[in-house]
Structure 1
Amino acid sequence: MSELSDLIPVEAIRLDVAAPDWQSAVRTAGDLLVSTDVSTDTYTEEMLRNVEENGPYIVIAPGFAFAHSRPSPAVRRTGMSWVRLSTPVNFGHETNDPVHLVVALAAEDAGAHTQAMGALARLLADPDTSAALDHAPTPQALRQILVGDTTPEPESAAAPAAAPTPADAAPEQSAAKGSGHGMHKILTVCGNGVGTSLFLKSTLDKVLDRWKWGRYITTEATDTISAKGKASEAVAIMTSREIARTLGDVGVPVRVIEDFTSTKEVDAAMRDLYDV
């Protein structure tokens, strides 16, 4: 089960929901997971506790929160829900508040939904598709956009025209600051390693594809605890501001990405890392 059509049924979509605060918004998304037999009420509480303990790192793009927690016995099967708010609410994020869209994920494991995360990231990164989702009049219309849109990401979201894609400047010639030679690894990190880090990994992979650097750099989505142990294997880490604070000094460069769907921002971070 990896496609958006499998993960988000019409019954898991609610539009123009009134929520007084972020807790109510997340709880509404969790209630939809419960009503579609994806998870139990316990998982909803786990999603809320995730934000309380790790901060609002789940607000991964302007106006968009991706609510989730670790795989647990409270997850019955992998699935998602979609809640569009009538009035945006604040999660406490420094740059991406207020939030008008909350998507919740319950995952049985850390890998089954990777393809769907990439598909969703591409849809939300496309301005036209994102606008269509924001104005869809019914859950049925919104789901049709989710499962039927094949519009590629526009060139405007790629690297700036003044900075050509460094297809020929392999990492061996422009090594990351403090790194050695050979196959490089970049970690994308979130609190649980199953949701927001996969969004960021998908965006990073798109940049590497455009640069034609996929044969030189591997990417791995992981959680905060695992990242501390894996940092010695990596040349860099990309993550949110909140998770960067939690990680502290791990011995490799840590780059903060505010918008996990922005290839432009990730492209700039890569250019800084590799001096290109």
Structure 2
Amino acid sequence: MVALKELLPLDAIRLDVSVPNWAKAVRASGDLLVSTGTATDGYTAEMIANVAENGPYIVLAPGFAFAHARPSPAVLRTGMSWVRLAEPVEFGHEANDPVTLVVALAATDAGSHTDAMATLARLLADPETSRALAEARTSEDVWTLVTGAELSEARTGAPAAAAPEAPEAPAAPAAPAPDATTGAPARSGGADRHTILTVCGNGLGTSLFLKNTLEQVLERWGWSSFVTVEATDTISAKGKASEAAAILTSGEIARTLGDVGTPVRVVENFTDTGEVDRVLRETYEV
């Protein structure tokens, strides 16, 4: 697994970028992937097409869009870019518009960047860190806040002191205990260990953010040993739906999935443990 400091080079961060619309915002993030040798311009076109086809589900928290597409020959290596906009733009998301931050991911596979996505999700969910990132004056300031590494490492590649852990999320209210008979969360039918799917268009970006947030909630409840969370794409989700206790996703992806015979729960803010806690309680009626 790779860390954020390995995926986000200093040269892939731009602040106060002016764009007229969401497509130009995604293109600005894609241009940085191109300039740092992470992807070709074809990948930028794929990211834009992803939104055009699936809707603005990549706007996964207020003001934050996570641009990405599937692994393809247009991806040269796994990497990221960071664009903070000078003026917010509308992506068409009912709850999370307008967007001021666009982070882009290009990945060669679905697994190597999962730890980095979990770290980024925790950072953006922390109010103090999020505020500091919004107020940062330079790209260097953003890089050190995001990676927790010394700036000298960004410039020279030399090892730095170990990065501090991501901020701890605020404590959640205690959840009811699992069913006393089965030892698993109460649900009619199914095996003792449940599966919950977090779904996005490609299964490697926004679904990982939601997976991380859901796992934080399950850990607080003491249900981690009873529930497996799997991040996946829309096509795979339809095939796996019958084996899942529930599907958590965005409104746009929920409409794409339609009726899959399993409860589909919409989450607006993929980094908000409070909202995910509420959705999980509704799912299990606790």
TM-score (norm 1): 0.94
**Residue deviations 1:105-130 (CA, integer Å, cap 9, x gap):** 00000001000000000000000000
Moved over 4 A (4+): 167-174
**Residue deviations 1:53-102 (CA, integer Å, cap 9, x gap):** 00000000000000000000000000000000010000000110000000
* Residues 37 and 151 of structure 1, relative CA distance in 2, 3 Å threshold: closer
* Residues 43 and 152 of structure 1, relative CA distance in 2, 3 Å threshold: same
The letter of the residue matching 1:29 is S
The letter of the residue matching 2:168 is E
Instruction: Please give the secondary structure, in 1, of the residue aligned with 2:103.
Output: strand
Please report how far the alpha carbon of residue 2 of structure 1 lies from its aligned counterpart in structure 2 after TM superposition. Answer: 1.7
Please report how far the alpha carbon of residue 150 of structure 1 lies from its aligned counterpart in structure 2 after TM superposition. Answer: 3.3
In the alignment, which residue of structure 2 is the partner of 1:258?
268
* Residues 216 and 173 of structure 1, relative CA distance in 2, 3 Å threshold: closer
Please report how far the alpha carbon of residue 165 of structure 1 lies from its aligned counterpart in structure 2 after TM superposition. Answer: 2.8
Contact kept, 8 Å, 2:81 with 2:105, in 1: the verdict is yes
Instruction: Please give the secondary structure, in 1, of the residue aligned with 2:87.
Output: strand
Q: Which sections of structure 2, spanning at least 5 residues, go unmatched?
A: 149-163
Percent identity, please.
65
Give the Cα separation in 1 of the matches to 2:243 and 2:191: 12
Please report how far the alpha carbon of residue 151 of structure 1 lies from its aligned counterpart in structure 2 after TM superposition. Answer: 5.0
Give the Cα separation in 2 of the matches to 1:151 and 1:257: 23
The letter of the residue matching 2:118 is G
TM-score (norm 2): 0.91
Alignment of 1:1-276 (within 5 A): 2-148=2-148, 150-155=165-170, 158-159=171-172, 161=173, 164-167=174-177, 172=183, 174-176=185-187, 178-276=188-286
Q: Which sections of structure 1, spanning at least 5 residues, go unmatched?
A: none
Please report how far the alpha carbon of residue 168 of structure 1 lies from its aligned counterpart in structure 2 after TM superposition. Answer: 5.0
**Count of residues paired in the alignment:** 270
The letter of the residue matching 2:42 is T
Higher mean displacement: 71-80 or 179-188: 179-188
Instruction: Please give the secondary structure, in 2, of the residue aligned with 1:108.
Output: coil
Give the Cα separation in 2 of the matches to 1:237 and 1:191: 13
Contact kept, 8 Å, 2:185 with 2:226, in 1: the verdict is no
